[in-house]
Structures are given as C-alpha cells and as structure tokens.
Amino acid sequence: MKKSIISSICLTGALLVSAQSQAATAICYNCPPEWADWATQLKSIAKDTGIVVPQDNKNSGQALAQIVAEKNNPVADVTYLGVTFGIQAAKSDVLESYKPAGWESIPADLKDPDGKWVALHSGTIGFMVNVDALNGAPVPTSWDDLLKPEYKGMVGYLDPASAFVGYAAAVAVNLAKGGTMNDFTPGINYFKQLMKNEPIVPKQTAYARVLSGEMPILLDYDFNAYRARYKDHANIAFVIPKEGSIKVPYVISLVKNAPHSSEGKKVIDYVLSDKGQAIWANAWLRPVRESAMTDTARAQFLPDSDYARAHTVNYQQMADAQKAFSARYINEVK
C-alpha cells in the first residue's frame, strides 16, 4: 500500500515536471518589468498566448553585447532595444528578418525594410522630477537649470555609454546646445559641466530611486514620469526642456537562429496587435500604431505645445554616431 502511494506521488511529480518543461517559452532580452510596463505586457502574453516570457533586467547595450557573444549558440528568442541598438544589431548579423501582421500599416521610418526590427512605441526625453525631493528648489525647466548649484547631487541619468536612454538624453542635450550627429562636443562639454554637480549615473533603470526621492531628477522618458504620477500617485512632474529635446522609438527583433523561433514570432505579433499596442498606450507610451492611443492616456500627456519642442532625428545617423560618442564620453567625462 505504502509503495503504491509513493509511486503515485512520484508519478504526479513527474507529470508536473513534464508539464512545466513543455510550457511554451520565449526568452526576451531587455524586457524589465519596471520599464515601459513590461510587467503587464508579459502577463498578458502568458494569459492570451500561453507563452511564458521570463523577466530580464538588461539594458539595450548589455542585451546587444550578450546576443553578439552568443551568436553561435543563441539563448534569446527576441530582444527589445532602443532604435540605435536595433540598427547596430542588424549590422552585426544577429537578427532574423520577420515582418509581423500589420507590417504595412507601420510607417517606413519606424521599421527596418528587411524586417530586422520594428518599432513598438516611442518616448520623449525630458526631466522626471520628484517635486517633494527638491528641498524647496523650483522644478527645473531647462538643460541649463540642471547645472545650477541648488541641484547638486540631485540629477541622475543612465550611463550614456551603455544604456540607450542615456545616449538618447546625450543626443537631446547635444542638439539643444547646437551640436550635430557629427559633432558631439557641445554635449560632451555639457556633461563635463554637469559632473561638477555630482550627478548619479546608474547603468539600469532608476525608476524606483526617483520615487523614493534618492534621485530627485532623472533624465528619462515621458512614459515613466506619467506612470509615476498617475499609477503610483507620486508627486512627479515631467518637463520637456525649453531648449528642446528628442523623441525616439524602441524596437523589437527576432534573434537569428532563435531556439524558440515560432514562440518569438508570436510574442512580436502580440506586442504589435491591437491588445498589445493598447497596453503600451495605457502605460503612457505612444504606440507605433497611433489608433491604439486611448483618450484617457492622451489627456494625461503634456499639451501639444510642449511636445512641439521635441523632435525626431535621423536614427541611422544617431546609430552611426553612438560608438564614437560612447568612446568620447568614457575618455573625457567618466
């Protein structure tokens, strides 16, 4: 009798292990739950498709470096990247061509013509400000404000030599200061000045640190600031600096020779579907398919007059300039 019970328990355990091992999985590099509401997106993917996508806290640079390192034995199935890293990844021959459903409706400048990457959504660079943590200082309104002594130790930005949002912020301030994609000297000089104010420079998303007040001002995207204000109910302001800024897309790609290629394709299809795009919109991201933007989300954005200061750029030029900028930043600023 005892043997029978033990055998039954063992069989049940074996069946559970077998079921878990057979669960559909797709590995996505750089889909952190605290960023762009990937938390909701991953739950919805699992619920609606049965595909489990584990959380991954890499940034764009780390994701690309690992995919290149694993080129001969890929681990990831899909990857989410800032657009310049997507362009670099295509050049590195680590991406597979895939044109998801609805491909024709996506603007030409927001997709690779061969299907190596496609934009999911875009964000605008600005200041995410924890008003309560400013110790009485006014909310900054310009790039120049951040250089003032009252903001010493208060300003943060992700490492622009590694994280895409950090590089996007560098491009924004460089252009605002009169630089070009061929001349980053104004931006480099700005960061040199900012270093005197003792900025905080993490390598990965710092959302929680802004909410806690540890980092009162973060150079970041509008969607993170709106999430903090409307979802987490923090006293957060978002500022598009008066000298100007940029808006940039984030993209998704199928990894070349992905171990779970069919599941990876389904994930890409899902995040570009009506439901997937609505999840981005409800997280205050501008979906690549604008029709998915909800009226509720649109009403919570800054006025269009503020967004008029944020411009698109030539993303190919932005990608081509990235390595040279990173080298200059490491050598001259760090």
User: pLDDT tens across 127-173, in order?
Assistant: 999 999 999 999 999 999 999 999 999 999 999 998 889 999 999 99
Is 16's pLDDT higher than 60? no
Question: Higher-confidence residue: 34 or 217?
Answer: 217
Average pLDDT of the chain to the nearest whole number:
91
Residue 20's pLDDT is 40
Residue 207's pLDDT is 92
Do domains 25-122+248-299 and 124-246+306-332 share one topology? The answer is yes
Distance CA 105, CA 100 (A): 11
Dihedral of the alpha carbons of 86, 92, 94, 99, in degrees to the nearest 10: 50
Residue 81's pLDDT is 96
Distance CA 226, CA 230 (A): 6
Domain at 25-122+248-299, CATH homologous superfamily: Periplasmic binding protein-like II (3.40.190.10)
Can you spell out the DSSP letters for 289-324?
A: SGGG--HHHHHTSPPHHHHTTEE---HHHHHHHHHH
Average pLDDT over residues 242-264: 97
Average pLDDT over residues 167-187: 97
Is 188's pLDDT higher than 80? yes
Is 293's pLDDT higher than 90? no
- Domain boundaries 124-246+306-332, CATH class: alpha beta
Residue 9's pLDDT is 38
Closest among 163, 189, 140, 141 to 248, alpha carbons compared: 163
Residue 291's pLDDT is 86
Can you spell out the DSSP letters for 32-85?
A: -TTSTTHHHHHHHHHHHH--B---B---HHHHHHHHHHTTTS---SEEEEEHHH
Is 295's pLDDT higher than 90? no
Q: Three-state DSSP class for 120? A: strand
Residue 174's pLDDT is 98
Is 18's pLDDT higher than 50? no
Domain ranges of the chain: 25-122+248-299, 124-246+306-332
* Residue 205 pLDDT level (bands cut at 50, 70, 90): confident
Residue 7's pLDDT is 43
User: pLDDT tens across 220-229, in order?
Assistant: 999 999 999 9
First and final C-alpha spacing in the chain: 70
